[in-house]
Amino acid sequence: MPSQAMPTAAMLVIGDEILSGRTRDANMHHLAKALTDHGIRLEEVRVVADVHERIVAAIKALSSIYDHLFTSGGIGPTHDDITADAVAEAMGARLDIRDDARAILQAHYDRSGQELNAARLRMARVPDGATLIDNPVSAAPGFTLGNVHVMAGVPSIFEAMLAGVLPSLTGGPPMLSQSLRVQRGEGDIAAVLGDLAMANPEVSIGSYPFQRDGAHGSNVVVRSQDGAAVDRVMAELVRLFPEAG
């Protein structure tokens, strides 16, 4: 895979409710698209149960391999929200209620006439050295500690937090892709595609079968940071499969 200064990323979903099948994760797909657009390559996703040791181990592993780690879930006010503790332990940081986070929550609950009780104050527990991530939806902030970006699991909040974080991250030349829809099964075009991939190592060529209205075919996707190379291989594909479109 080419990697011309394209930063890498992983995602960690803290998700009993996803692993039990109760909820369908939506944040992975959103993050994948947003990072691709921003020139950061998402290389791995893990979903782990709400168990402290599992979360700590995954944070340690992923934050040491990839340039960025984005986490989703487990930063609310209830007893099963344990992500901040796990991040602090994994990164060797002290965790306590922080005045800046408390002030944000206090202002929010004052406005809404609700009490900043002990449970809500849990959401002001932020590791020393972390930068807060703005939460325009429900105030309780996420945070960035080192290369770990800790965000809420509720999709609308996850997306708002990501929109705040992404502009501060340096992306590489974005990965460009084009695709061709070929009305032939993968087995018919595999040999030609394999040769094409071998002859053009500067692009990655993927093939994804589809079935629709009884017909089956293949979506061939050409990806590279080099737009001219994508154009060239796409032209070659169209020549090889003139019936496609």
Q: Is 85 one of the binding residues for a copy of itself (CB under 8 A)?
A: no
Binding status of residue 43 toward a copy of itself by CB under 8 A? yes
Among 206, 232, 234, 244, binds a copy of itself (CB under 8 A): 206
Radius of gyration of the chain (CA): 22
**Residue of 28, 93, 166, 180 that binds a copy of itself (CB under 8 A):** 28
Using the rule CB under 8 A, give the single segment among 74-82, 88-96, 141-149, 227-235 that binds a copy of itself. Answer: 74-82
Residue 74 lies near a copy of itself (rule: CB under 8 A): no
> For a copy of itself, which residue of 6, 39, 67, 77 counts as binding (CB under 8 A)?
77
**DSSP summary character for residue 171:** P
Q: Count other Cβ atoms within 10 Å, centred on residue 54.
A: 15
Cα–Cα distance between 99 and 109 in angstroms, integer? 15
Coil, helix or strand at residue 196: helix
Which region, judged by CB under 8 A, interacts with a copy of itself, from 73-81, 128-136, 161-169, 230-238? 73-81
* C-alpha 94 chain-centroid distance: 26
Nearer to a copy of itself, 88 or 175 (CB): 175
Do 68 and 74 form a contact (C-beta atoms < 8 A)? Answer: no
Residue 184 backbone zone (phi > 0: left; psi -120 to 50: alpha; other: beta): beta
Cα-based distances in Å from 217 to 106, 181, 182, 204: 57, 7, 6, 20
Does 244 participate in binding a copy of itself (rule CB under 8 A)?
no
**222 within 8 A of 234, measured Cβ to Cβ:** yes
Applying CB under 8 A, does 24 fall inside the site for a copy of itself? yes
Amino acid letter, 199: A
Task: Please report how close the Cβ of residue 129 comes to a copy of itself at its closest, in angstroms.
Answer: 26
Place of tokens 């020139």: 39
User: In which element (H, E) is residue 9 found?
Assistant: strand 8-14
Residue 125 interacting with a copy of itself (CB under 8 A): no
Q: Which is nearer to a copy of itself, 64 or 156 (CB)?
A: 156
Binding site for a copy of itself (CB under 8 A): 1, 13, 16-25, 28-29, 31-36, 41-51, 54, 76-80, 114, 117-120, 122-123, 154, 156, 175, 177, 185-191, 193-194, 197-198, 204-209, 211, 221, 223
